[in-house]
Chain A
Amino acid sequence: MQQQGNRFFFNVDWIAVLIYIALCVIGFTNIYASIPHPDTATAFDFSSSYGKQLIYVISGLVLGLSILLFDGRLFNVFAPFIYGITLILLLAVLFVGRNVGGNQAWIPIGSFRLQPSEFAKFGTALVLARYVSTFNPKFRDFKSIFIAGIIVAVPLLLIMMQPDTGSALVFLAFMFPLYREGLSGYFLLIFLGMIVLFVADFLVPVSILIIILLTISGLFIYANKRKQKLIITTVFVTLIAIGYLFLVKIAYDKILQPHQRNRIELMLGLKTDNKGAGYNVIQSQIAIGSGQATGRGFLQGTQTKYGYVPAQSTDFIFSTIGEEWGFIGCAVVIGLYVFLLLRLVNLAERQRSTFSRVYGYSVACILFFHVFINIGMTIGIIPVIGIPLPFISYGGSSLWSFTILLFIFLKLDSNRMGFI
């Protein structure tokens, strides 16, 4: 042990903290650039969005550092409690929440609005880690998969009811920590297969898809005609896949709302729409594309400055980066994220405690989902799903929840020598 004064910050991974600060600064800079008339304002105009973001960044940093002051064991102990509170908040938001943009996702507290779905992420991550570390399941049996599934599904469904599909989708990220803890890789393959079949369902007629599926399974059965068990499984999987195709069609028409159908069709290129729902994506791509290699320069982005991209400081903040900093800027930001994610996974692997490891994987994968979906959306390879870009998008709730998410893990990591 070193000096007494350094006790709280001992062993903290400062590289991750530095990347965190860098991303926050990038976020503030680009939010500053995104507002219409920056020339008349100062950086300390706290009524403006960038002024508020400055407060969020500073308070977020204070929050993160103060998390480092806690005893890491507390998070393990209080995990079920925190999870319970987030579930209550998620329930509460359905009744007392304020409707913003079609989603009942916000609880107003004075002038400040709380978004419980943001906090549900680390609540769920903590309780999942607690479950895995306590019972040490290997996810070979139905029961452990079921329990883990319930832990993730309850907040997911509550968020779906708001309805905030984007935030709910992020909970699928918990598949990866479970996979790391022993969940069969088939689950990931099935998940991948579901996505592939879902997309194919829109691009290719169902009859042709069924023929393709039957041909593949037929060939597979022929190749493995001695293995009876495998043949039964194949037949079973094929039947489910065909059922799934029809289910997707029905679900698509009955369950998804028109604007969601619209976004999916736009993304798949089934229709074009320059004015309506497609406007965001087109304008965002125009802004990013017009940045070219080196960008137009800070405060020089015309699309940014003149408000061509809706929701630019929040979900579409990446378009500002793309326009003003160009491909180089985009590569730097993506590089920082990838570096942070790889680092988090490496940190998670060096944990002695299962709790810290599961939690670390959860953090990395939640961040990964956010980054992938958000950036993918702004450049048109993923349908428009309104979730923020971690540490960069404008907004107190999201910045603080990501900060808490990250710094709890950094605290756990700094305690890796001890036992929890």
Chain B
Amino acid sequence: MEQLFNRKYIIQGLFIIIAIILLSKLFYIQIISDKAFVAAESNVLKKKFKYPARGAILDRKMRVIVQNEPVYDLMVIPNEVKPFDTLALANALEISIEDVRKNLRKARLKSNYQATPFSKQISVQSYARLQEIMYRFPGFSTQDRTIRHYPDSVGGQLFGYVKEVDSADIARSEGFYKPGDYKGKSGLEFSYEEILRGEKGVINTVYDAKNIPQGSYADGKYDVNAVSGERLISGIDIQVQKLGEELMKNKVGAIVAIEPSSGEILAFVSSPGYDPNLLVGKRQGNNYMDLIGNPYKPSLVRPIQGKYPPGSSFKPIDALLGLQEGVIDVNMTFNCPGYYMAGNHKVKCEHVDGNISMRRGIARSCNTYFCHVFQKLITKNGMKNQRQTYQDWRDKIAKFGFGQKLDIDLPFEKQGYFYNADHYDKIYGKRWGYTTVISQAIGQGEITATPLQIANAMAIIANRGYYIRPHLIRAMGDKIKKEYVEKNYVGVDAKYFEPVIDGMQDCVNTPWGTAVLSRIPNILMCGKTGTVQNPHGKNHSVFIGFAPRDNPKIAIAVIVENAGYGSTYAAPIASYMVEKYLTGQVSGARASQVEWMKNQNLLPLLIDKSKKLKLTKADSLIIRKTDSLKRLNDSLKLKTATAKRAFSAKLAKKNNVIIKPDENKK
């Protein structure tokens, strides 16, 4: 019995051990780990976001050019849905019954207890219809938010678009964006996202286990009201912008107009353009794919991404530099026999002018004159120092904004090519000089620039020697932006501008000027046409100009791809834009010309790539052979004689290699 009595302690010990085990586990989950506490909070607390309205954008005359429109998302909490009249809902939403079922299935997959989008961005009409019969659909509710609306339907590439954030955006934002948020993806919507988006509001609501709201958390202590985005005031004149897009209809190219005194961009046309409203709402995805697939690449923002040789519009800058460097003076003449001989290579001129001076040279766009100027600029320190002199020249031109980004307030700006001397060292070794790069004298060859850079160069001439960084937005809310006031001087004295401007004035306003047909009555526009040689097809039509001559209000660059002479398309388009901006309308006989211009279709022919696939192997070999021969020959035209010989030798070798098997086959 004594031993059995001791068993009491074993049983009591067991009680205590088990109690200690229970308490240790409790100690762990209650005191050591805070996982349960966090889980409990997320159980009961649900954040409902209030989406702020995005900031509006106004044009320079305070007209609203980007605004918001209310839309409604139809939300559903699947486990609250009772059997309902599928047909009635389908009719109200203008979708099929299958879609109703599909959407419900999708929502169920996401969550059974949370409000999930059933049908996003339903139309106002659907919303109105739905409101009347909403009581018949338990579990469904509407959530309002705003989407963008662009009342003028222009400026697709300028404004960009707003889209629901994807997982990459969320990851990049380090938790700022949540699924379901919207974000500017390109254009101004992208650049000014942080100002436009405003601040999201949060309502913390306590929910019970059945997901029924039980009131606000901590009396709304942690709730935040939504703050609307700030409005932006842009420098755009929407009427001019609209005219520009209409003029560029069925043409490929770009227009950039700048107010020289402020650097504000007045018009920013990228053609083909598109209606920014296409990238809003339900069909955003499809429309976006259509734009991406369009062979004329409307998704390319040509004013800042298109890279064009500046062509003759480069000439006034040459002249300015020549004057500044003192290698020419206003009255110096060069003889133009209709061409210029750069070594053995002939640079053609469109006309034979005999002895020609600067003013006439600019007005007539004389290639010979500017090749001479270029020759003088590069050889002014002697033939042996051409490399260094070229580099100096290049750096001075670069001050006009070429070969570098202008840091406009839009994303994805390109800088164009404008090579340093090193680049030519790599190609030609030490043996190169002004004749090698002579094509740059007339804005051809290796140099390319964006329309924005070209327009900016024109603003520099209009300002007589400086520019303010071009920008689209001049004020955020009521604050004028400070970063766009600094004057960037280009290192050419103001006095040298007048003779150059004389030439540009003549270009538009004298019978011998290239753009005389684009003269605007009562407005003294100065300009310069350009016909840019295009290795891929017909020449590009270019015009740059500013007006009026004194105290200029607008500087403009127009590029119409594959349109031929600058005087036929680019110059008239520029003149209509200028007139519209300065007087508010295009008047007189020119009004009908505007209509004519709008109807011109200059879209380049597209090569049907599908046909190419049908070629036999032999055919493609022939095409490849002739293509390569042509390409080599083309490139040789611009090279020096020595280079030509070397290439001919290479070519001969190559031809042997390529042609032989081809012939054997035949």
Residues of A within 8 A of B (CB): 36, 176, 179-182, 283, 285-293, 302-303, 305-308, 322-323, 326-327, 330-331, 334-335, 337-338, 341-342, 345-346, 349, 361, 364-365, 368, 372, 375-376, 379-381
Contacts and interface: CB of A to CB of B under 8 A. Distances in A.
B35 to A, nearest CB: 7
A182 B3 CA distance: 9
Given A180-B7, A307-B210, A327-B31, A322 B26 contact: yes
B33 interface: yes
B589 interface: no
Contacts of B208: 36, 305-308
Interface of A is mostly: helix
Contacts of B30: 288-289, 291-293, 322, 326-327, 330
B26 A308 contact: no
Nearest to B38: A290
A368 B15 contact: yes
A171 to B, nearest CB: 17
A247 to B, nearest CB: 27
B215 to A, nearest CB: 11
B4 A180 contact: yes
Interface string B30-47: 110111110111011000
A334 B23 contact: yes
Given A289-B36, A326-B30, A346-B8, 18 more contacts: A36-B208, A179-B7, A285-B29, A286-B39, A286-B43, A289-B35, A289-B40, A290-B37, A291-B30, A292-B31, A303-B40, A327-B26, A335-B19, A349-B8, A361-B11, A364-B11, A368-B18, A372-B22
B168 interface: no
Interface string B186-217: 00000000000000000000111110001000
B21 to A, nearest CB: 7
Contact of B4 (A182, A286, A368): A182
Contacts of B209: 306-308
A73 to B, nearest CB: 24
B12 A342 contact: yes
B133 interface: no
Nearest to A367: B15
Please provide the 3 A-B residue pairs with the shortest distance between their CB atoms, ordered closest to farther: A289-B36, A290-B40, A306-B208
Contacts of A365: 11
Interface centre among B8, B41, B206, B210 (most CB of A within 10 A): B8
A109 to B, nearest CB: 32
Residue among B12, B29, B34, B41 with max Cβ neighbours from chain A (10 Å): B29
B40 A375 contact: no
A337 B4 CA distance: 24
Given A303-B44, A306-B208, A338-B16, A349 B36 contact: no
B12 A345 contact: yes
29 contacts: A36-B208, A176-B11, A179-B7, A283-B43, A285-B36, A286-B43, A287-B40, A288-B29, A288-B36, A289-B33, A289-B37, A289-B39, A290-B36, A293-B31, A302-B43, A303-B43, A305-B208, A306-B206, A322-B26, A322-B30, A327-B26, A327-B30, A334-B23, A338-B16, A342-B16, A346-B8, A365-B11, A379-B29, A381-B22
Contacts of B12: 341-342, 345
A303 B40 CA distance: 7
Contacts of A364: 11
B135 interface: no
A380 B35 CA distance: 15
Nearest to B30: A327
Contacts of B41: 290
Contact of B43 (A308, A341, A368): A308
B27 interface: yes
A349 B4 CA distance: 11
A390 to B, nearest CB: 14
A176 B466 CA distance: 101
Contacts of B26: 288, 322, 327, 330-331, 379
Contact of B22 (A182, A346, A375): A375
Contacts of B5: 349
A209 B16 CA distance: 31
Contacts of B34: 292
Nearest to A326: B30
B637 interface: no
A210 to B, nearest CB: 29
Nearest to B26: A330
Contact of A290 (B18, B39, B210): B39
Nearest to A335: B19
Nearest to A279: B209
A328 B232 CA distance: 59
A303 B209 CA distance: 8
Nearest to A182: B4
Nearest to A323: B40
A283 B206 CA distance: 16
B40 A334 contact: no
Contacts of A182: 4
Contact of A345 (B4, B11, B18, B25): B11
Given A288-B30, A372-B22, A379-B29, A341 B40 contact: no
